[in-house]
Structure 1
Amino acid sequence: MVRKSETGGRRMQRPSRMLADRIRGDVLSRLNPGERLPTERELAARYGVGRTIVREAVLILELLELVVTRHGSGSVLASAGDAPAPMTHGPNASATIGPFELIQARLTLESAVAGLAAKVATATDLRRVKSTLEEHVVLLEHPLTDSRFRKIMTVDSRFHLEIAEATHNLALIQTVDFVRNYVGTTPEWKIFLDVYERDRDQLDLALAEHRVIFDRIFERDAGGAQKAMRDHIFRKWGGLRDELVQRKLLLDTKLFAIDLDLDL
């Protein structure tokens, strides 16, 4: 199967995308919402492909909101109740939040939060954030097992939330918590974890960036804290965008529009 590119040329579809189309026609059409797909191993054997291709194909189906992967129970055919949580207020109350909006929200919100924290954080707040940062350092001093990686992700998220808590603004705290929790439900986040789980350099870089963010907050440098947080989030999600492009999974072309020079 071939498609015309935006430049008018023709290119072959990536194997994972071709497999996603086959699974959609052969498997999903025979399932009821909530019923499980065959396992990764079974799909690989059935279609004569490697498990990496199967994994990417299932991710494509997740991005299309056709499949949901649940911890401990595998992948199932999505139902209406499995769709990402909609907005609950305002004129767009029935809309779901896309990856572009999530990235833009984090760039705008968390950078401003870091700047405010630099102005108003108490000594107790700073000690709490520093303790979390030190815990992150210790975790990265040991071999990266699955269990340790999950702990690192937990500590990473806690670092960001504690900075929000250091603003002492409940609206900001709850908004940061909502956005971060929502991000964790998206298929893009699973790709992000896949990228970072196998790249120790990226984990080390994230820690180094956290140190810079903390240092700017500790120094009461609001502008520096804001820039450090913005650079950190942009760099991580820029890496995810590149990964999505490489896997031919980038469905939201607006992701290309995000740039550090944007006046968000």
Structure 2
Amino acid sequence: MSEALRPMVRSRLYEQVLERLRAHVTEAGLKAGDRLPAERDLAASLGVSRASVKQAIVVLEVQGLVEARHGGGTYLVRDTLDVEPVEQLVERRKRLPDVLEAREALETKLAELAAERRTDAELADIRLALDFMRDEIAGGDFGVEGDRRFHAAVTAAAHSSLLAEFMKTIAAQITESRTESLRQPGRPSRSLAQHTAIYEAIAAGEPKKAAMAMRRHVQTVAKVRLLDWVPED
């Protein structure tokens, strides 16, 4: 059967709510820190159930676009609601556990080797990446580029061509996991502190301590709202 004649997918009601919320934020000129209307009011205005509104809010939380404060309403984290298609979220949710498992195995060993093999110049590169990430976060960004540079510098300092090649083959998936983690509320500053601990262990030439610090960091990366989300049919 041709692709054109595949079964049609009916749009979920909460996905329509997501689109309406995105349009509302734009039309109302809402910015980061502004509060969205209460779920009850949204349900009444849109003519849908509160369950549909709640499902939409959860998807926005998963994407790090809003923060739902217990008993205090829902607030924008960014200036817009550029919502990622739900199907893309579902697919990333499926592959994320495997990526995180691979990262823990590979990067723990890379940190250990970096503590044993790094040169002074390579240690300086790790430090520069750490400083870059700190500046990004201080400027209001998530620190994604600094994070990428840090892990790349640790990989280079490990002097393991095969492990580096393995990292390269899953680079796109690592980028997804990095972005997913760093958009969690409060995560950039926590990640920076963990990177600092990894750097200090590598600088001190303590392989076991560096491996432990990296394992702790990747386990934190794995704690994302996306993996707690159960997609609604």
Partner of 1:160: 151
| Structure 2 Cα separation of the partners of residues 230 and 156 of structure 1 | 15
Q: Which amino acid aligns with 1:102?
A: V
Partner of 1:228: 213
Q: 3-state DSSP class of the match of 2:138?
A: coil
Shift of 1:248: 2.3
Partner of 1:62: 88
CA RMSD of aligned residues (A): 3.4
Give the one of 176, 179, 191 matched to 1:206. 191
Q: Are the equivalent residues in 2 in contact too, given 1:161–1:177 (CA < 8 A)? A: no
Indicate the larger mover: 111-120 or 172-181: 172-181
Aligned positions of 1:1-264 closer than 5 A: 25-27=9-11, 40-41=18-19, 48=48, 50=53, 52=57, 55=60, 60-65=86-91, 98-142=95-139, 144=140, 148-149=141-142, 152-185=143-176, 191-192=180-181, 195-196=183-184, 199=185, 201-237=186-222, 239-240=223-224, 243-245=226-228, 247-249=229-231
Q: Are the equivalent residues in 2 in contact too, given 1:43–1:54 (CA < 8 A)? A: no
In terms of fraction of residues, the more helix-rich structure is 2
| Structure 1 Cα separation of the partners of residues 150 and 161 of structure 2 | 17
Instruction: In structure 2, list runs of 5 or more residues that go unmatched.
Output: 1-7, 24-45, 63-82
| Structure 2 Cα separation of the partners of residues 54 and 128 of structure 1 | 38
Shift of 1:131: 0.9
Matched length: 174
Q: Are the equivalent residues in 2 in contact too, given 1:115–1:222 (CA < 8 A)? A: yes
| Structure 2 Cα separation of the partners of residues 217 and 53 of structure 1 | 39
Shift of 1:52: 3.3
1:43-96 Cα deviation digits (max 9, x unpaired): 98988455536656966522544xxxxxxxxxxxxxxxxxx9xxxxxxxxxxxx
Instruction: In structure 1, list runs of 5 or more residues that go unmatched.
Output: 1-23, 29-36, 66-83, 85-96, 251-264
| Identity %, equivalent residues | 21
Q: 3-state DSSP class of the match of 1:140?
A: helix
